């Protein structure tokens, strides 16, 4: 058995901008910077958002930890999944799985994400992030 805290964030247009789901709703609810994997092949993709208080950073490359039989890392451009993880564990080991891309076109459709604060799940997803857009200091 695994005890965990779960959060569900959903919205429907035109209440607010779904393209800002992660920055306006998820990151503040979790109190954490987020690394977001999404399908970046649509028009109007949002860049990483480095505005305080939380940053929302776009994943660029995914891969399994190096080891016997591990495939090479691959670009987020070939992965249609939509998920995010907290950048670190300080505010919780958050992992979210949803159905919203980070692009302007998502404003016309509903959607959301379900998040869990569980270190084992977080570690599994976090280690997949090989490269992401970082904020300039």
Positions annotated as catalytic residues are: 80
Residue appearing with tokens 């399908």: 39
CA 84 → CA 58, 67, 123, 126, distances in Å? 9, 24, 12, 9
| Residue 44: how many other CB atoms lie within 10 Å | 12
Pairing label, strands 129-132, 74-75: unpaired
Compute and round to an integer the Cα radius of gyration of the chain: 14
CA 4/CA 120 separation, integer angstroms: 10
CA 128/CA 52 separation, integer angstroms: 25
> In this structure, are residues 4 and 57 in contact, taking their beta carbons and an 8 Å threshold?
no
């Amino acid at each position: 058995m695994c005890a965990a805290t779960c959060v569900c964030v959903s919205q429907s247009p035109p209440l607010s901008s779904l393209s800002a789901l992660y920055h306006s709703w998820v990151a503040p609810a979790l109190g954490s910077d987020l690394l977001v994997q999404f399908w970046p092949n649509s028009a109007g993709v949002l860049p990483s958002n480095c505005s305080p208080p939380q940053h929302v950073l776009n994943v660029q490359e995914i891969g399994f930890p190096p080891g016997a039989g591990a495939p090479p890392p691959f670009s987020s451009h070939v992965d249609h999944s939509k998920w995010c993880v907290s950048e670190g564990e300080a505010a919780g080991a958050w992992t979210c799985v949803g159905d919203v891309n980070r692009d302007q076109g998502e404003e016309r459709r509903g959607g959301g994400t379900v998040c869990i604060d569980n270190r084992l799940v977080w570690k599994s997803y976090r280690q997949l992030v090989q490269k992401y857009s970082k904020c300039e200091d």
